Amino acid sequence: MGPFRARNRIQRVNIHHADQALVGDYQMAAAAGAQHFVAVVFQRDAVFPWLTVRQNLEYGPRMTGLPRRTWAERVEEYLFKVGLTEYAHLHFDHIGNTELFPNAQFFVHTSEIPMLISPPRYATFYYREWKRKLTNIADRLIPVAGGFHLTKNIEVVRIGGHSPGQLAVFVQTGEGRVCLASDFLYNYVNLRQEWPIGPIWNMDEWMAGLRFLKGESDIIIPNHDFEFYQHFPEGIIG
CATH number of the domain enclosing 113: 3.60.15.10
pTM of the full structure: 0.62
32 is a domain residue: yes
Residues 137, 168, single domain; the answer is yes
Residues 74, 182, single domain; the answer is yes
Residues 24, 104, single domain; the answer is no
Q: Which are the contacts of 163, defined by CB distance < 8 A and separation ≥ 6?
A: 89, 90, 91, 112, 115, 125, 183, 201
Residues 16, 66, single domain; the answer is no
Residues 21, 122, single domain; the answer is no
46 is a domain residue: no
Residues 58, 28, single domain; the answer is no
Residues 102, 10, single domain; the answer is no
Domain count, the chain: 2
Dihedral angle computed from the Cα positions of residues 29, 46, 113 and 161, in that order, rounded to the nearest 10 degrees: -40
Q: What is the pLDDT along the chain (238 residues), one digit of tens a residue?
A: 443 344 444 444 444 454 555 555 555 554 444 444 444 444 444 556 566 667 777 777 777 777 888 777 777 776 665 544 444 445 555 676 777 777 788 888 898 888 888 888 887 777 777 788 788 888 888 898 888 898 899 999 999 988 888 899 999 999 999 999 988 998 999 999 998 887 888 899 999 999 999 999 999 999 888 888 889 887 888 7
Residues 20, 61, single domain; the answer is no
For residue 5, the enclosing domain spans: 1-40
DSSP of 150-209? EETTEEEEE--SSSTT-EEEEEEETTEEEEE-GGG--SHHHHHTTPPPS--S-HHHHHHH
How confident is the model at residue 14, as a pLDDT?
47
How confident is the model at residue 224, as a pLDDT?
81
Residue 191 to residue 182: CA distance in whole angstroms: 12
How confident is the model at residue 182, as a pLDDT?
87
47 is a domain residue: no
| Helix, strand, coil fractions of the chain, as percent rounded to 5 | 35, 20, 45
How confident is the model at residue 213, as a pLDDT?
95
